Homo-oligomer: A and B are copies of this chain.
């Protein structure tokens, strides 16, 4: 059983998400990072090879170069991970797919909805595996939550509150991570809504198993001079009529990475928080509260199979991320991984972003959400 060989696009010096993808991909020993276009500057790309401890010969200055060179090797890459800023998702993914390689791509899918549709067409046309790294749906207790809802623990879902507060962009956006996120040329049409709002949206649909059919959006650019939204309120209606609220912000000083979700049905309620990801709280209509622990005996197979340590030994963000790569590896081996977010999820996310941005700009009130 050799490891699957990964080529990365993006993740150069100063990047946060590149090393995260590397760790996540390799965590379970099924994948190895062996090549990359870590920068469009060939010298910088090569320099990055050292920090990733790969052969500098396999650090390329362009995707085309990587695709050609790796194709020529017996041990060439098996798939491509796209971890660039948003505006490069489409060209990178498209090229890799057209070269016959499966792709795992960071979120949001692309910079615009039109690009997303184009990418979806390429995925359909090539028939190759494609995944979007909605990290938070990789947490074991998020999968447990989904399973409990599907099993009827809450009864009919009536209400969803999903929040994603951060504070790191409350001041001036400086540093590599911040700068591209507030720049429409690189981030695309959404600021906060595209960076984190889309995670919240995906989490809500993932856990409920319900699609959002209508929304009302109020996006603001709070920090003076900011050109993209940094504070978002979106009201939701789900396909079954359930009411929802999605809050995302990057100007809430003191909030770290506070993604959390609460769901309520006619028979129960459920709460999960990313910053304390190893507990899930369940409520019943008759007043009982149960705390479910990651790694504990109450977990169903989706959660249990994606946990590596005994209960009480906290797993976190990297392990959740690794669960997506484990799913992706399974798909590459020809197995099923129904919980892995794919092109349809990515497309829904872009539709959400585009619809919210446009509806907010137009002060349009409730609008349908269609892909």
Contact = CB atoms under 8 A, between A and B. Distances in A.
Contacts of A311: 256-257, 287
Nearest to A297: B287
Interface stretch (A36-44, A83-91, A203-211, A266-274): A266-274
A158 B312 contact: no
A293 interface: yes
A298 interface: yes
A180 interface: no
A284 interface: yes
A247 B262 CA distance: 13
Nearest to A244: B233
Contact of A27 (B23, B168, B287, B315): B23
Contact of A309 (B28, B258, B308, B318): B318
Interface string A154-171: 100011010001111011
Interface string A3-27: 1000000000000100110110011
A285 B313 CA distance: 19
A249 B311 CA distance: 16
Contact of A269 (B252, B275, B312): B252
A78 to B, nearest CB: 14
Contacts of A282: 254
Nearest to A317: B313
Contacts of A256: 293, 295-296, 310-312
A264 B316 contact: no
A284 to B, nearest CB: 7
Interface in A207-226: 216, 218, 220, 222
B284 A267 contact: no
Given A23-B27, A29-B53, A231-B159, A253 B222 contact: no
Nearest to A289: B291
21 contacts: A2-B53, A26-B26, A27-B27, A154-B253, A159-B231, A161-B252, A167-B283, A170-B264, A231-B243, A233-B235, A249-B264, A253-B283, A254-B284, A257-B312, A274-B312, A287-B293, A287-B298, A289-B290, A290-B291, A315-B316, A365-B365
